[in-house]
Amino acid sequence: MDQLTKAAWLIPLFPFAAFLLLTALGRSYRLAGVLIASIGSLASLVMSLLVFIERLGPNAVDYSGDSYKWIGLGEYTLKIGFEITNLNALMLVIVTVVSFLVNVYSAGYMKKDERITVFYGYVALFTFAMLGLVLSDNMLVFYIFWELVGVCSFLLVGFWYAKPAARAAAKKAFIVTRIGDAGLLLGIIVLFWYMPGHALDFSSIHNVFTEGQSGTITTTITTSIALLLFMGVIGKSGQFPLHVWLPDAMEGPTPISALIHAATMVAAGVFLLARTFDIFEASAAAMHTVAYFGGFTAIFAATVALAQNDIKRILAYSTISQLGYMVMAMGLGSMTGGIFHLFTHAFFKALLFLAAGSVIHAVHTQNIHEMGGLGSKMRITAWTFAIGALSLSGIPPFSGFWSKDAILASALEENPFLFAVGLAAAFCTALYMSRLFFIVFTGKSRLQQPAEVKESSKVMTIPLLVLAIISVGAGFIETPWNGWLGSWLTDGAEDVHASGAAIVASIAVGVLGIYVGWLMYGKGSIERGAAGAKMPWLVHLLERQYYVNEFYDAVIVKTVRAVGKSLNAFDEYVIGGAVRLVGVTAGAGGRVLTRLNNGQTQTYGLTAIIGLIVIIAAIVGRRFW
Amino acid sequence: MLPSYLTMAAILFCIGLYGALVKRNAVIVLLSIELMLNAVNLNLVAFSKYGDVPSLTGQVFALFAITVAAAEAAVGVAVLIALFRARGTVNVDEFDEMKR
């Protein structure tokens, strides 16, 4: 029955084999490289779907695969294994679907890039790492893959390394997420220390932290473990205050923004929250922190997105905001809501990014004010983008509505304040998406060479269509009257959060946001500059993204640089000086001694005598001392 | 009596050492080495006569030293003559083959 589940460890190995093959082949096999990588990810996709279908069966139980004993220390052993739960199976499907479509899409988008084989190699490596992360059965293996996806993100953000901005963005992405990762590692260490038998596998964590045995580890320790793990989430999922790397990461190729920085890697933080949900649930303080961080990030990033002019930056801030929603849902105890939004968001945000990539591919600019009127020239792109935008704005029956509604309904039950925050963020979301859509796809063309714009090739539009279909349909697995996803994910432990008020309110703010956006940017009956004329400081604040980057620059980067410089000076002058002094002394001594070696017997004799006298003086001197 | 012999030997040794290290003529250097040897012989004889444990061994030893010194002087002068034939000089300053 569950033969496929037992063989699930093969899933990450297909892309890994593709990566090895691509690396071995080198850059000249362009078409072969694309085919190998796509076939690798297609194999993973098929396998994941089969595993997923198997999990839908009536008697599917969580399966932990055969473990390979990695480290043995006396009684303690650390194992590498894989685990299939319903959550993992769902993530497998999300990752492989988006990864495969991005592979197909990139064949068109990266066609003219001379390093396309390298690109596909990195994507295959990333897919391997992400699938490994999803399948890992203990925290340490999880952490290894967690870092590996970070490395792939670094490589791909800096893929066009000839651009200084791309290099800086890659470094920033790596360093900022490392700050969170340090917290995650500390969390794992503390967990290791306090867990009975130092077990790090997720099933033991589940057993220890579920309510019956919560006495094993005190609440204080639980809270600190949860908060340290949450630091990793903040870094990886771009939550405030470590969100600054995600907008900059848009320097990478657009398919990468869709795959890594919208659908999969940034969602790994939310996945971690879901995987260690029992730890968070055991500590009310941690849950509150998570919820408020998520809520704040949602509204914060949504307002910033209102005033950005780069199409990818708007989508990046939108991603941060939506990740904030997911984190907030987790913090409010609605794991189903968080994972459901992760699921739908992965598809419609990947769709939006790929459609944006199609636009960028056609017009060669990312500034939305240099676009305009593209709807008539790029029909498929415009329609699919519209579907993604409506889904993101929370308009029924698109998938984003159902997942956002699930979150808002549970927020209304748990915390009315966060419900209000979520509604405000939803309004901003609808507003900036309609602004983006109307500026880019309607109105007059503001292009430099309008004649050259044409629809992208089939290899790029077909993934858009597939994602659009999923974006429309994916929401129906969990609706207010059908809590299939929730009961499937949590074995029936979590009920449907249904609330008429939440549905009405979320539709209302979504429609209102789009209507205001249409008035401002579509019909033009509200003057665009009206807000800017009345409150220039506010627009400026939003355009500069609340000056977070400037603040970090002034406070943290400068301090670190100053410390680095002083340490460098210490190294240069004190340590280096001492080393040079030793060198100079030895050299000078050598030169003096060289002069003694003149071949003259008498000089040698004299030296020997002087040495003898010194020895005698030393011996005699010691006797008198 | 012993200290005056020893002082005498020390003075003799120092003169020899000085000559061996400072004089430029190789013949004089060889003579200075003989002086040092004789200073040692003087010590040996003085200790065997006036030392804490007087015995003939020291004097016999001195005889051996004189014999060896004679042989050494013969070899030294032979080397010196060979050097003089090869280099045309007996100036110690110019013998710096050990440098290479």
CA distances from A602 to A151, A316, B21, B93 (A): 70, 85, 5, 9
CA distance A340 to A355: 23
| Cβ pair A599:B100 closer than 8 A | yes
Q: Is B21 on the interface with A (CB under 8 A)?
A: yes
Q: In the listed set A482, A508, A542, which residue is the last one of a domain according to the structure?
A: A542
- Is residue A476 one of the residues assigned to a domain? yes
Compare CB distances from A599 to B17, B20, B96 and report the shortest one's residue.
B96
- My answer on whether A25 and A127 are in the same domain is yes
- My answer on whether A191 and A88 are in the same domain is no
Interface list for chain A against chain B, based on CB atoms closer than 8 Å: 597-602, 604-606, 609
- Rounded to two decimals, the pTM is 0.79
DSSP A215-238: GGS-HHHHHHHHHHHHHHHHHHTT
- Is residue A21 one of the residues assigned to a domain? yes
- My answer on whether A218 and A128 are in the same domain is no
Instruction: Give yes or no for residue A492 having a pLDDT over 80.
Output: no
Instruction: Give yes or no for residue A409 having a pLDDT over 90.
Output: no
Residues of A with CB below 8 A from B93's CB? 600
Of the candidate ranges A60-69, A145-154, A268-277, the one whose mean pLDDT is the lowest: A60-69
Q: Is B22 on the interface with A (CB under 8 A)?
A: yes
Instruction: Give yes or no for residue A82 having a pLDDT over 50.
Output: yes
CA distance A480 to A340: 13
Q: Which residue has the higher pLDDT, A23 or A531?
A: A23
| Cβ pair B99:A609 closer than 8 A | no
Task: Express each pLDDT in A95-113 by its tens digit.
Answer: 999 999 999 998 888 888 8
Q: Which of A594, A595, A597, A602 to mutate to test the interface with B (most CBs of B within 10 A)?
A: A602
Would you list the domain boundaries of chain B? Answer: 2-99
| Cβ pair B98:A602 closer than 8 A | no
| Cβ pair B21:A598 closer than 8 A | no
Compare CB distances from A597 to B92, B93, B99 and report the shortest one's residue.
B99
CA distances from B55 to B3, B48, B59, B64, B75 (A): 18, 5, 8, 16, 32
Q: Searching chain A, which residue's CA lies closest to the CA of residue B18?
A: A606
What average pLDDT does range A383-411 have in this prediction? 87
- My answer on whether A110 and A36 are in the same domain is yes
Q: Is B96 on the interface with A (CB under 8 A)?
A: yes
| Cβ pair B22:A598 closer than 8 A | no
Tell me what pLDDT residue B43 has.
Answer: 92
- My answer on whether A182 and A104 are in the same domain is no
Tell me the percentage of chain A whose pLDDT exceeds 70.
94
- Asked if A203 and A62 touch (Cβ cutoff 8 Å), the reply is yes
- My answer on whether A423 and A510 are in the same domain is yes
- My answer on whether A534 and A557 are in the same domain is no
- Asked if A548 and A300 touch (Cβ cutoff 8 Å), the reply is no
Tell me the percentage of chain A whose pLDDT exceeds 90.
24
- Is residue A35 one of the residues assigned to a domain? yes
> Quick one: DSSP state of residue A2?
-
* Mean pLDDT value across chain A: 85
CA distance A490 to A573: 62
Compare CB distances from A599 to B17, B20, B99 and report the shortest one's residue.
B99
| Cβ pair B99:A602 closer than 8 A | no
Of the pLDDT bands very low, low, confident and very high (cuts 50, 70, 90), residue A204 is confident
Residues of B with CB below 8 A from A599's CB? 95-100
| Cβ pair A602:B21 closer than 8 A | yes
State which H helix or E strand residue A461 sits in. helix A458-473
CA distance A67 to A138: 11
Q: Which of A597, A598, A600, A609 to mutate to test the interface with B (most CBs of B within 10 A)?
A: A600
Instruction: Give yes or no for residue A578 having a pLDDT over 90.
Output: yes
- Alpha carbon of B92: minimum distance to chain A alpha carbons (Å): 8
**Amino acid letter at A614?**
V
Residues of A with CB below 8 A from B17's CB? 609
Residues of A with CB below 8 A from B98's CB? 599-601, 604
CA distances from A77 to A26, A193, A346, A553, B56 (A): 40, 14, 36, 44, 84
Task: Express each pLDDT in A421-431 by its tens digit.
Answer: 988 999 999 98
- My answer on whether A167 and A127 are in the same domain is no
- My answer on whether A179 and A256 are in the same domain is yes
Residues of B with CB below 8 A from A600's CB? 92-93, 95-96, 98
Residue A379 CA, chain-centre distance (Å), reads: 31
Q: Searching chain B, which residue's CA lies closest to the CA of residue A604?
A: B21
| Cβ pair A597:B95 closer than 8 A | no
CA distance A359 to A355: 6
3-state secondary structure of A243: coil
Architecture per CATH, domain B2-99, reads as Orthogonal Bundle (1.10)
| Cβ pair B92:A601 closer than 8 A | yes
Task: Express each pLDDT in B27-69 by its tens digit.
Answer: 999 999 999 999 999 999 999 999 888 888 889 999 999 999 9
What average pLDDT does range A480-493 have in this prediction? 73
| Cβ pair A597:B97 closer than 8 A | no
Residues ≥6 apart with Cβ < 8 Å to A77: A69, A70, A71
| Cβ pair A598:B17 closer than 8 A | no
Q: Is B100 on the interface with A (CB under 8 A)?
A: yes
CA dihedral A336, A342, A345, A349 (to 10 degrees): 180
DSSP A28-89: T-HHHHHHHHHHHHHHHHHHHHHHHHHHTSTT---EEPPPEEEEEETTEEEEE-BEE-HHHH
Task: Express each pLDDT in A497-531 by its tens digit.
Answer: 667 788 888 888 888 988 888 888 877 777 666 66
Tell me what pLDDT residue A1 has.
Answer: 47
Q: Which residue has the higher pLDDT, A165 or A3?
A: A165
Count of domains forming chain A: 3
- Alpha carbon of B95: minimum distance to chain A alpha carbons (Å): 7
Tell me the percentage of chain B whose pLDDT exceeds 90.
70
Tell me what pLDDT residue A318 has.
Answer: 92
| Cβ pair A600:B97 closer than 8 A | no
What average pLDDT does range A396-420 have in this prediction? 86
Residues ≥6 apart with Cβ < 8 Å to A422: A295, A298, A325, A328, A404, A407, A408, A411
Q: Which of B28, B83, B94, B96 to mutate to test the interface with A (most CBs of A within 10 A)?
A: B96
Q: In the listed set A542, A576, A611, which residue is the last one of a domain according to the structure?
A: A542
- My answer on whether A559 and A491 are in the same domain is no
What average pLDDT does range A563-580 have in this prediction? 93
Tell me what pLDDT residue B100 has.
Answer: 60
What average pLDDT does range A208-220 have in this prediction? 70
Residues ≥6 apart with Cβ < 8 Å to B70: none
Residues of B with CB below 8 A from A601's CB? 92, 95, 98
Tell me what pLDDT residue A482 has.
Answer: 72
- Alpha carbon of A583: minimum distance to chain B alpha carbons (Å): 26
CA distances from A99 to A302, A320, A381, A409, A529 (A): 26, 20, 19, 31, 40
User: What tokens appear for A450 in the block?
Assistant: 């309008």
Q: Is B20 on the interface with A (CB under 8 A)?
A: yes
- Is residue A143 one of the residues assigned to a domain? no
Instruction: Give yes or no for residue A45 having a pLDDT over 70.
Output: yes
Q: Is B18 on the interface with A (CB under 8 A)?
A: no
Query: Smallest Cα–Cα separation from A372: which of A288, A463, A443?
Result: A443
Peptide bond into A58 cis (omega under 30): no
Task: Express each pLDDT in A462-486 by its tens digit.
Answer: 888 998 998 888 888 877 777 777 7
CA distance A274 to A298: 19
Tell me what pLDDT residue A449 has.
Answer: 67
Q: Is B17 on the interface with A (CB under 8 A)?
A: yes
CA distance A404 to A322: 9
CA distance A224 to A460: 46
> ipTM exceeding 0.90?
no
Q: In the listed set A542, A575, A603, which residue is the last one of a domain according to the structure?
A: A542
- My answer on whether A111 and A243 are in the same domain is no
| Cβ pair A605:B93 closer than 8 A | no
Q: Which of B14, B21, B28 to mutate to test the interface with A (most CBs of A within 10 A)?
A: B21
Residues of A with CB below 8 A from B22's CB? 602
- Is residue A142 one of the residues assigned to a domain? no
Query: Residue A39 sits in which domain range?
Result: 1-137
Instruction: Give yes or no for residue A552 having a pLDDT over 90.
Output: no
